[in-house]
């Protein structure tokens, strides 16, 4: 099983995992958050490396960060290993759900499914859209 590590500001990572747990009915295995705060920035790289080592069961680890170019993503960039440890920035709940759902696929396919899930989960909602969805 591919491990999923969310590296994000504050408690966003853990909050996303809690949301996924609510949707799924149980906490998914091998999905972990590395929450970035002012106090944890100094040891982030070491923590990320240790979590990746602990999570990799031979199929790799997918890293998800919140904002490209910020500290969580920059830390993620320092631990990437093509084909083993891959990363995606811009994490949202649809992206995480897609990653959890398809992590039985090879890592390269999981990346495509995850990015697509995140993009397709972003919709501009209009009243017409809501009326069509609710039947009103």
Tens digit of each residue's pLDDT (9 = 90 or more) over 27-82: 999 999 999 876 666 688 899 999 999 999 999 999 999 999 998 999 999 999 99
Instruction: Report the candidate in 96, 121, 92 with the shortest Cα–Cα distance to residue 4.
Output: 96
Q: Mean pLDDT, the chain, as a whole number?
A: 93
Topology of 3-134 in CATH? Rossmann fold (3.40.50)
Q: What residue ranges do the domains of the chain occupy?
A: 3-134
This prediction has a pTM of: 0.91
Bridge partners, residue 31, by sequence: 4
DSSP-assigned beta bridge partners for residue 81: 85
CB proximity list for 122: less than 8 A, separation 6 or greater: 92, 94
- The DSSP result for 16-83, as a single string, is HHHHHHHHHSSPPTTEEEEEE-TTTGGGHHHHHHHHHHHH-SSS-EEEEESSTTSHHHHHHHHH-BTT
């Amino acid at each position: 099983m591919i491990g999923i590590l969310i590296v994000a500001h504050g408690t966003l990572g853990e909050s996303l995992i809690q949301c996924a747990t609510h949707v799924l009915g149980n906490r998914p295995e091998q999905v972990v958050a590395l929450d970035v705060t002012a106090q944890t920035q100094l040891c982030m790289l070491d923590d990320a490396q240790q979590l990746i080592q602990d999570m990799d069961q031979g199929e790799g680890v997918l890293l998800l960060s919140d904002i490209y170019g910020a500290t969580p993503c920059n830390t993620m960039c320092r631990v990437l290993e093509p084909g083993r440890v891959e990363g995606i920035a811009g994490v949202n709940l649809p992206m995480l759900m897609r990653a959890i759902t398809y992590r039985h696929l090879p890592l390269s396919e999981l990346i495509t499914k995850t990015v697509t899930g995140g993009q397709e989960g972003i919709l501009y909602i209009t009243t017409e859209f809501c009326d069509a969805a609710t039947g009103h």
